[in-house]
Structure 1
Amino acid sequence: MPTSNMQKIVIVGGGAGGLALATRLGDTLGRRQQAEITLVDCSRTHIWKPLLHEIAAGSMTPAKEELDYLAQARWHGFRFCLGRMDGLDRSEKVIHVAPTLDADGHELIPRRQISYDTLVLAVGSGTNDFGTRGVAHHAISLNTPEQAAHFHQRMVNACVRASLQDEPLRPEQLQITIIGAGATGVELAAELRNTTRELVAYGRESIDPDRDIRLTLIEAGDRILPALPPELSHNARRLLQKLNISVLTGEKVTEVTETSVLTASGKLIPSELVVWAAGVKAPDFLSQLDGLETNRLNQLLVSPTLQTTLDPAIFALGDCAACPWEEKQGWVPPRAQAAHQQATLLLANLQRQLQGKPLRTFAYRDLGSLISLGKYSTVGSLMSSLSRKSLFIQGQFARLMYLSLYSKHKMALYGLGRTCLATIGRLLSKRAEPQVKLH
């Protein structure tokens, strides 16, 4: 890659926080030739992670929502490097990037090194299966668009297979079990109930979606959506049960097999498709990054300025960072709103660093939580900026607030004009295509 005498800021990870930071740094420092901004990611495109349950259910086509990193880099004054970081040399100030292979397994881009003056790690999180037997082989996680698309393809194939067979359905056939009743699990369950009804209407009429496709949601805790107030959690549960979704709480999964899910209480739930949405942790390679401090979830320990504890030239944000939250005497939760807030702080701090000014500290503001139950409802809580108390909302107003979150994310990347045009185009295209992805 080209080199210069400018300060080199390298951002690893193009998720919600990393991409927003690269875009805004490129628009400011990059375009003004005050710093050289480089974004590194192992994928060619970006999709907002809270949308993955819609891709898995088939209510969203990935190609229509993904952002091309190369195009974004050209439009916003930064460079994009395709590859997966797998090592770090702090003394030389370089990161190691693994070789990139094409679809046939041939080397496309060789192993290389990228030098930095300031490094920002925003690599997000992955699945934490807590060592549960069979999860790695028989369950699907929803951490990437590829995983979400894989689940959707398996679900469509399961419907095709069942609709054309002569023999009765097997006990596990068309049975979907979702393990973990946080936001991802609950949103996926509700979205699946809608899309499976749509899916079987296209040539699969021999399947009764409410009778033959059973959805089971399992939670180890005593209630679903533990991040929400109990009242909204109970409301969401009642709605899921009205949608003929079986909700099991207080059930810890001990094993996942090819055809079933086993819980600690002895329940055996026949399942053809299993989604694991019960826990997250940062990528394993972070615990081996040239001595940087991590916790048991592989998160990098950072100070309130988001600098890693052992190296002030390395910052971390988002799910991969263990940032202290003084108000709660704990850690900032791994949520998209936290990543966006940290990206905003880092934008200011990296500019202040170039100017020789002291860095500001991060203060997390919990803005509340919104959970989409598809077309059926939306529930959530918003934090009042005056009283700092939760305002409980649900229904159409909550739905509009939920949709505004995605619009806000797109505006941070595209700007107002392109966001409006893209929204209008999507609304028009929906009138000329099926409401669910059929393949």
Structure 2
Amino acid sequence: MIRPLPPLLSQRLTDDAAGITSVCTAHPIVIEATLAHGLRTGRRVLIEATCNQVNQEGGYTGMTPAAFRGFVEAIAAKVGFDPARIILGGDHLGPNPWKHLSPGDAMGRALTMIGAYAQAGFSKLHLDTSMGCAGEPAALADAVTAERAAALASAAEAEVGVGLSPVYVIGTEVPVPGGAQHALDTLAVTRPEAAFRTLEVHRQAFRARGRDDAFARVIGVVVQPGVEFGSTDVIGYQPVKAEALAAALDHMPGLVFEAHSTDYQSEGALAALVRDGFAILKVGPWLTFALREALYGLDAIAGILPTQDGADPDRTEGLPALMEALMVREPEYWRNYYAGDADALRLQRHYSFSDRIRYYWPHREAQHGVERLFARLGDRPIPGPLVSQHLGKLYGAVADGSLAPRPRDLAIAAVQQVLDRYDRACHATPRG
């Protein structure tokens, strides 16, 4: 039986469903696919920007929180999705982008960042101060994490404009953004007593700042349920190992758990997470990974089909070659995350589950490469045998007539196949 959800969470996020998918991305095609999926299902959509993607300094997308809101709403207008049904969230809001600086400098920038998120109307804020800054240990004491989180919440509360005050997610055992950076074997599930301590030290820290009102809007705690992915490995959810943690929610009224790094889990595992109280399922790299698969498949097809004017296809440089040259020339987003010889590094740059290639799609060269690919293919239907050969996951929908085999439709559908898994997991069983 799925446990009843707290009223505030149901009202603000889930619309009485058992859970909600948190889409963590800034990729325009992924956002378009997400909003089109929401239009088809009739759901509200939760889209979260991370501190590295979007901040007052632009992040790797070049967007501030206000610019990101405008970016998402422009896509919503294109899709025909009501912007009032979009929930914007901020993910891993804290000093992470500046952790190479002193604690004072890093937290000063984090306070400015979360204020910008609040001003822009982001209504779900994940406070993540679990990492050490320059001169500090990698993992901080719970009390320090909680005090910094309370400082961030205070800064957000001071900048809230018109509309609902934000809801918050807290935590001290927060998985690394974007997946593990080492080979995976097993994971330690968060102990119930650690979850209780996290909640209590945050309660005390918020109270010390006179922010009981903000603490009353804490809806979730980030814990480690035993799921993670790395470059080539995925650790699947094992409910038996999380039984004690799931039972802890019986003693944490008004709260659910937020599960990070749920990418690449089976549909059964996702449904089990929701059933066990991990009602907020975060997904990000899996969506851009699925899109990259589709784009590379379309690129292979473009190298086979004649161009729209009947000329032979241009096989001089496809999208993978362009992305390889870009990533080798500008290695900052992958070199500290991948290891091995030259062949292993090349494989990871393109095909790693960690999907560090996602950091390069906003680059002007990559954008132009994708635009050229779609221009080469045009809007003509792609023959079924080529869909089967190079986009095999989508062939069933093409064959039964539910998906038009046009290039952009196929790319959108690749992302939506992943979203469908999450949607079924969150809506499979009525809560009660």
Give TM-score, length-normalised by structure 1. 0.28
Question: Radius of gyration: which is bigger?
Answer: 1
Counting strand residues as a fraction of each chain, which structure ranks higher?
1
Give TM-score, length-normalised by structure 2. 0.28
